[in-house]
Amino acid sequence: METRFLGASGLKVPALGFGVGTFGGKGPLFSAWGNTDVEEARRLIDICLDAGVNFFDTADVYSDGASEEILGAALKGRRDQAIISTKTALRLGDGPNDVGASRSRLLKAVDASLRRLGTDYIDLLQLHAFDAHTPIEETLSTLDGLVTAGKIRYLGVSNFSGWQLMKSLAIADRRGYSRYIANQVYYSLIGRDYEWELMPLDREEGIGAVVWSPLGWGRLTGKIRRGQPLPPGSRLHDTAGFAPPVDEERLYRVIDVLDEIAAETGKAVPQIALNWLLQRPTVSTVLIGARNEQQLRQNLDAAGWSLDAAQIARLDAASAVVPPYPYYPYWNGMFTELNPPPVPVQLG
């Protein structure tokens, strides 16, 4: 498995990581994702490690902590082989301080995650969302203290806007705090908003993208087709309300091109969608998920080969959208002399 630096840090991560949101299966959302128990988790992690995938991503809210517990149990005795990434800031509990990124919440949340994971350090802690109620200085100083204490090795964010991330980086630089080096983002062939502002920011500031839901919330698994009902096993039946929105015509346009390239290459539709992401700027690792061994092995085969330039161009064209102002004039070529776009784009 190819390894890449996580942003401008010295930490190398595999090009594919394993997202373990399927571990636990508690609650209406996560039960639709999967209900992997400890025994099955060990088997899936065995397959990942054999393939060179040692980056495992979870969050404290996944199945109310059960995902972290199962991941920790499945890694028992081989913690040193793994890079553990988890997230916090979303609500986990009924108390007034059981949400956010305050000093009180972060200290409590990190200790709880360490207990559930059965480890004394977290390789990468990411804020699951921006907390507008807590001063950024309070959040960053607390995180920096946790790094100094050895409980966390690297810091990242998820679901931040451009200004939220840039303001945080500026304060960290001014105060001498540990910097964010990872940005966990939604990015897929049917969700390219990341390219408008966050990708240029990440490239400029040395932030590595950790991609979540690379198959567009299950829409690019190869099971959804134009004019056909959702297949019985699709998680979209129960979770469509949580899914990032996508225009149906654009979705089917992308699927049509994926089908064409699948016929040309002999690769499965999800493998092509994942491989396209692996060739995008700033992407450090793409998180694959799996409810069973078959899905995992198929997704792992998305690495180790490359789409050709013509195939990438066809996927780019099928998935492109006209970005909103103020991004539009930068992407249509008006300001290219001053600001070249982060990736080649054809506006649809």
Q: Which amino acid is at 76?
A: K
The encoded tokens of residue 50 equal 């054999």
330: CB partners within 8 A, 6+ apart: 336, 339, 341
Q: List % helix, strand, coil for the chain (3-state, nearest 5).
A: 40, 15, 40
Say how far residue 181 (Cα) sits from the centre of its chain: 14
37: CB partners within 8 A, 6+ apart: 70
Phi-psi region of 34 (alpha: psi -120 to 50; beta: other; left: phi over 0): left
| Closest of 66, 98, 72, 92 to residue 84, by C-alpha | 72
Return the HEC string of 229-268: CCCCCCCHHHHHHHCCCCCHHHHHHHHHHHHHHHHHHCCC
| Cis peptide bond N-terminal to 14, omega within 30 | no
Active site residue 252: no
The encoded tokens of residue 290 equal 């799996």
Active-site residue identified among 62, 186, 187, 330: 62
Helix axes 136-148 and 103-117, enclosed angle (nearest 10): 40
CA distance 8 to 280: 16
What SS3 class is residue 12? strand
First to last CA, the chain: 35
Integer angstrom CA distances of residue 293 from 80, 109, 143, 156: 23, 31, 36, 29
Q: Which amino acid is at 94?
A: D
User: Which residues are known catalytic residues?
Assistant: 62
